[in-house]
Amino acid sequence: MAELMNPVGNTFVCNARLTRDAEVKTRGDQKIVAIGLVNKPTFKKDAPALFMNADQFGEKAVELFGGLKKGDVVSVSGNLVPREYNGKTYWDLKNASITRLSKPQEDGEGSTRDQGIGTSPAGRNSAPAADYDPMADI
């Protein structure tokens, strides 16, 4: 199957959450930021999720993405390529472009919640607070 796929022709775009903290590796003299991602298109418990790995290369990648933490929401695009290992299929996102969308924030009781895009500090379904500035932490 993999030999029939054109890795340049299957661009995949989605929003995903990090499954683990970003890991900075060194290969030779090249710095690499490795991240694990999950995309679940629905909130139904039995809905399938797509797990994938993506890498970003270079010092700029370490600066931009080295601080990503488990649960951060990112938008990713790239070539989704399958690989087989021990009889299972794993997915890698090659030539990935990553944009940080949000990060979990403390809710004051020790747990975290995702502020998300276009939401108010009070939560996803409430009206925006008058003093809420969505660009404040950018």
Alpha helices in 27-84, H assignment, sequence order? 59-65
CATH topology of domain 2-102: OB fold (Dihydrolipoamide Acetyltransferase, E2P) (2.40.50)
Write down the domain spans for the chain.
2-102, 103-138
Cβ-Cβ contacts under 8 Å for 82 (sequence gap 6 or more): 1, 2, 5, 89, 90, 91, 92
The pLDDT profile of the chain, 138 residues, written as one tens digit per residue, is 444 444 456 788 889 999 999 999 998 999 988 999 999 877 777 888 889 999 888 888 888 888 899 999 999 998 888 989 998 888 998 888 888 887 555 544 443 333 333 333 333 334 444 555 555 554
pTM above 0.75, yes or no: no
What are the Cα distances from residue 84, in Å, to 29, 77, 79, 98? 28, 21, 16, 24
